Every structure is written in C-alpha cells, then in structure tokens.
C-alpha cells in the first residue's frame, strides 16, 4: 500500500507549520508524517532556525498550499528552500520551474532518477540550486529502503549542512 492510498496517512492536517518567520523550508512529504499536527522530532533544530512548512501530500490540498507558498514569494524576501523525497521530487522540481527565482534550493532525497534528472537541469539553468542529499544506499547495513524518510536523522543532517554552507 502506498502513502497515497493509505487512509491513515491521509488523516490529519494537510500542512504542519512550525518555527520562526523569515527563511522558510517548504517540505513535500509523500509519506505524510506529522499527522498529529507536529513536525518529526528530528526537525526541531531546523524549526529553531527557520519556518518549516511541512506539506503532507497524502492529504488533499497539501500540494496546492505548497504552490501558494512559492507563488506568494516576494523578490528580495526571505529565502525559501524546497525539500522533497521519492516521488515528490518531481513535484518539487515542477513547483520551482513554475516559480523561477522563488526557491533558493531544491533539496532531493532519493528522487526517482528517470523522472527528475532532466527537470533538475532546467531548474538549475533558471538559477535555483538543486542537490541530492543523503539517501538510502540499499546496502545490508542500511535497513531503510528508498526513499529515506524525511524524519531520518541523516536527512536532517544533510539539509542542515547545505543550509549552513549557504
């Protein structure tokens, strides 16, 4: 059963928001974490530095709200970085492509390669940085199959490192 067809993941709010106003992290989560209305605990350090807008894609309206965040971005306003994993990588790249200059970065975890590579090049050429973050390797010691959940500590560490380097 996928996250889209899992009725339990489709319960709860479409978007969970936490953190300071200012710089934003727009998260497209195909797994629908945060159904209790709170960010995963591993994201608390990021929410202490930025506003996190966690769009729970199994819930109707989440992608529309993500579109609104990028569509409402003002030139020279606080930076918006988009994070997505798995099949949501294509959605993140298409959002960035429709709103050139609105997103500073698109950060992808275990993106679907055949769908996202050409699109990522178009987004890069329009001036948005695109990076692939720590991902599930499929090695025996890594027991988490792709895509690595957005709440995984390695994902949070990878996002934090990229944002510190900016």
How do residues 54-86 score in pLDDT, each as one tens digit? 999 999 999 999 999 999 999 889 999 999 998
Q: E strands, the chain, where?
A: 15-18, 24-29, 51-56, 80-85, 105-109, 129-132
User: What's the full length of the chain, in residues?
Assistant: 166
Taking the C-alpha atoms of residue 136 and residue 151, their distance in angstroms, rounded to an integer, is 13
User: Which residues lie across from 54 on neighbouring strands?
Assistant: 16, 27
pLDDT of 134 > 70? The answer is no
Phi/psi of residue 51, each to 5°? Answer: -80, 125
| Residue 106 in tokens | 């698109």
Task: Please enumerate in sequence order all residues whose Cβ is within 8 A of that of 32, keeping only pairs 6 or more positions apart, or say none.
Answer: 3, 6, 9, 10, 12, 56, 57, 58, 59
Structure tokens at 86: 């798995």
User: Model's pTM, two decimal places?
Assistant: 0.89
pLDDT digits (tens, 9 = 90+) for 8-51: 667 889 999 999 888 999 999 999 998 899 999 999 999 999 99
In the CATH hierarchy, which top-level class contains the domain 15-165? alpha beta
DSSP for 73-95, written as a single string: PPTTSS-EEEEEETTHHHHHHHH
Q: Could you give the CA distance from residue 115 to residue 90 in angstroms, rounded to a whole number?
A: 7
For strand 51-56 and strand 15-18, is the pairing parallel, antiparallel, or unpaired?
Answer: antiparallel
Domain boundaries, the chain: 15-165
Q: What is the pLDDT of residue 102?
A: 96
| Stronger pLDDT, 106 or 75, i.e. the higher one | 106
């Amino acid at each position: 059963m996928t996250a889209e067809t899992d009725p339990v993941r489709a319960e709860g709010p479409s978007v969970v928001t936490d953190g300071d106003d200012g710089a934003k992290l727009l998260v497209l989560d195909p797994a629908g974490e945060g159904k209790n209305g709170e960010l995963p605990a591993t994201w608390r350090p990021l929410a202490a530095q930025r506003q996190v807008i966690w769009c729970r894609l199994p819930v109707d309206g989440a992608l529309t709200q993500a579109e609104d965040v990028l569509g409402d971005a003002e030139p020279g306003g606080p930076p918006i970085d988009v994070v997505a994993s798995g099949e949501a990588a294509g959605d993140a790249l298409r959002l960035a492509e429709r709103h050139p200059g609105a997103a500073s970065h698109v950060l992808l975890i275990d993106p679907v390669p055949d769908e996202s590579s050409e699109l990522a090049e178009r987004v890069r050429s329009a001036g948005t940085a695109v990076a692939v973050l720590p991902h599930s390797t499929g090695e025996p010691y890594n027991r988490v199959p792709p895509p690595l959940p957005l709440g995984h500590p390695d994902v949070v560490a990878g996002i934090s490192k990229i944002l510190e380097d900016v």
